[in-house]
Amino acid sequence: QTIHVAIVCAGYNASRDVVTLVKSVLFHRRNPLHFHLIADAIAKQILATLFQTWMVPAVRIDFYDADELKSEVSWIPNKHYSGIYGLMKLVLTKTLPSNLERVIVLDTDITFATDIAELWAVFHKFKGQQVLGLVENQSDWYLGNLWKNHRPWPALGRGYNTGVILLLLDKLRKMKWEQMWRLTAERELMSMLSTSLADQDIFNAVIKQNPFLVYQLPCFWNVQLSDHTRSEQCYRDVSDLKVIHWNSPKKLRVKNKHVEFFRNLYLTFLEYDGNLLRRELFGCPSEADVNSENLQKQLSELDEDDLCYEFRRERFTVHRTHLYFLHYEYEPASDNTDVTLVAQLSMDRLQMLEAICKHWEGPISLALYLSDAEAQQFLRYAQGSEVLMSRHNVGYHIVYKEGQFYPVNLLRNVAMKHISTPYMFLSDIDFLPMYGLYEYLRKSVIQLDLANTKKALIVPAFETLRYRLSFPKSKAELLSMLDMGTLFTFRYHVWTKGHAPTNFAKWRTATTPYRVEWEADFEPYVVVRKDCPEYDRRFVGFGWNKVAHIMELDAQEYEFTVLPNAYMIHMPHAPSFDITKFRSNKQYRICLKTLKEEFQQDMSRHYGFAALKYLTAENNS
């Protein structure tokens, strides 16, 4: 039997919170689930991508536009921190499909400690006109004695908490629920002026007049950890607990003598590896999902005995992806010249973020390759950083870890796909752009007519081997540092070919942009229009991931133009795990060579005669 769950979810923070709730439900469940998400545009974008890439069997998701429902409740003044979205549970009878008979409604700050099917079974206990299953409020709020002149809305005794609701939708519709709550709200607002606890005040006012509507749920179905709570009287033993509700703005910092236990339960799901929840339900054939069928087909066509099987498989791995993990705001520039810096990173490069933000004031799109536990560490790190918290134009997209490789090009594609500007600067996390590069690139975009020509603007790359570098403030300063040997052209010691075509000798004296031709193994950092081709996913870990992309730009007849007054500097760091693998593992090198050859064959098939030069250049190099 499918269990239906409705959740109102709006904005970046709620989209993060709801994942922990969903994990706790998935962890214990044995039934197919159908989530009905009343979401704003932000939450819909984030959660649609998350569930699509999560690929959990026997889970269906439907979205309902919360912004369309605003007019239904915007006439009710609400002082609660949930804002207008805190009132939307009132309109579920109207919003959810008319053939849906019953639904469990949950707040996003709920954690399940048991199988949700047990709660679903409680519907069978409803008798007569009972249409709402609710737990008594566990604070003294509705008794009105919390402080002097405290005037709560009318309620039956302590009132009820609406963090967990069982709704018998079909009966509620027949009872004309819509009129019922509206009339009550209008009448009470004449004297109360606004709600303090959003929908909860209105539900309680209706119940006060119609007590027969309620089936009182045992209190372990909604153990409320707000301030002033009496929740400790609700359980004798920890094993009695079924649902925990963090219904205080303080959330995890709330005072309760068992809060340590509750916090640990919550943190378990917060950091739990979501990939483990992809397991099939036992004895419950899930409806075939088109995405997973395609994936199975692609994987079955691979040869498992091929020594490079793991490499080939990675190309088809679907990584769970949480877009916009933190709050994001971007005001489009009126002149259509805006440029987003694009990069990808894992946990060991977090310390570069603040420096990049100080050097680049424009929008940034980052893909972070993390485990669930690391994503929480990242969240704490970002929230503790004044530099990062003061910036709202940085999109942080989490791609969750799976498999043994670092899927570098998938990460780049995720970061590239979610930019809000017409142009992007394809960089790497270890580089600091020169001060003022953002404004300089916006001017260059106009000067070189990037909107109407196929160009890739090259930002020359340099490197330092010093951890404490006084960053050059100008090209003149950079040139004198080059002459003194504190800076080098990038990869000068190990891989000159990667940047040789940039022609650094010419750049030293250049005052106007100049064109360069593609050569084998060229991998500059470029500014392109957002419609440029994606990176090729077959290249994972270290080696050839950028070279292949630049080759494709050349095949599509992009002109490579070097900017005379732009530069970026690579900062030193310990070698990545993948480069170490490349240097030490012969099989890794063999597979990379094979993938390279296959890529070049694909290129000549795709681009025909023009692409033959890539094969000959490779053979000569």
Digit-coded pLDDT (tens) for 241-265: 899 888 765 555 555 656 677 788 8
Residue 234: the pLDDT is 67
> For the chain, what is the mean pLDDT?
90
Residue 392 has pLDDT above 90, yes or no: yes
**Encoded amino acid at 528, one letter:** V
pLDDT class of 239 with cuts at 50, 70, 90: low
Most confident region among 278-287, 397-406, 559-568 by mean pLDDT: 559-568
CA distance linking residue 406 with residue 578, whole number of Å:
7
Per-residue pLDDT tens digits for 186-236 = 999 999 989 999 999 999 999 999 999 999 999 889 988 866 556 566 666
Residue 465 has pLDDT above 90, yes or no: no
Phi, psi of 36 (to 5 degrees): -110, 110
Residue 288 has pLDDT above 70, yes or no: no
Residue 582 has pLDDT above 60, yes or no: no
Place of tokens 């972070």: 368
Phi, psi of 63 (to 5 degrees): -110, 145
Helix (H, G, I), strand (E, B) or coil at 98: coil
Q: Which two tokens stand for residue 42?
A: 């932000």
pLDDT class of 575 with cuts at 50, 70, 90: low
Place of tokens 């004044």: 386
Residue 298 has pLDDT above 60, yes or no: yes
Strands (E) across 40-131 are located at 59-65, 102-106, 110-112
Which run of H or E residues covers position 367? strand 364-370
**Encoded amino acid at 301, one letter:** E
Per-residue pLDDT tens digits for 584-600 = 678 888 888 888 888 98
pLDDT class of 503 with cuts at 50, 70, 90: very high
Residue 40 has pLDDT above 90, yes or no: yes
Where do runs of H (alpha helix) occur along 494-611? 504-509, 545-555, 577-584, 586-607
Query: What is the DSSP code string of 313-327?
Result: HHTT----EE---S-
From the CB of residue 453, how many other CB atoms can be counted at a distance below 10 Å? 11
End-to-end CA distance of the chain: 63
Residue 585: the pLDDT is 78
Task: Give the 3-state DSSP-derived string for 272-293, with helices as H, strands as E and coil as C.
Answer: CCHHHHHCCCCCCCCCCCHHHH
In this prediction, residues 486-513 reach a mean pLDDT of: 88
Per-residue pLDDT tens digits for 72-95 = 999 999 998 888 999 999 999 999
Residue 583 has pLDDT above 80, yes or no: no
Q: Are 524 and 533 in contact (CB under 8 A)?
A: no
Residue 287: the pLDDT is 59
CA distance linking residue 525 with residue 456, whole number of Å:
9
Residue 597: the pLDDT is 87
- In the chain, what percentage of residues exceed pLDDT 90? 68
In this prediction, residues 427-448 reach a mean pLDDT of: 97
Residue 294: the pLDDT is 76
Q: Are 142 and 42 in contact (CB under 8 A)?
A: no
Domains of the chain: 3-278 (3.90.550.10), 321-617 (3.90.550.10)
In this prediction, residues 380-388 reach a mean pLDDT of: 97
Q: Are 218 and 118 in contact (CB under 8 A)?
A: no
Per-residue pLDDT tens digits for 319-366 = 999 999 999 999 988 899 999 999 999 999 999 999 999 999 999 999
Q: Are 169 and 90 in contact (CB under 8 A)?
A: no
In this prediction, residues 493-514 reach a mean pLDDT of: 89
Enumerate residues 6+ apart whose C-beta is below 8 A from 67: 40, 41
**Encoded amino acid at 192, one letter:** M
pLDDT class of 462 with cuts at 50, 70, 90: very high
Residue 301: the pLDDT is 77
In this prediction, residues 554-565 reach a mean pLDDT of: 96
Per-residue pLDDT tens digits for 137-179 = 988 888 876 677 778 999 999 999 999 999 999 999 999 999 9
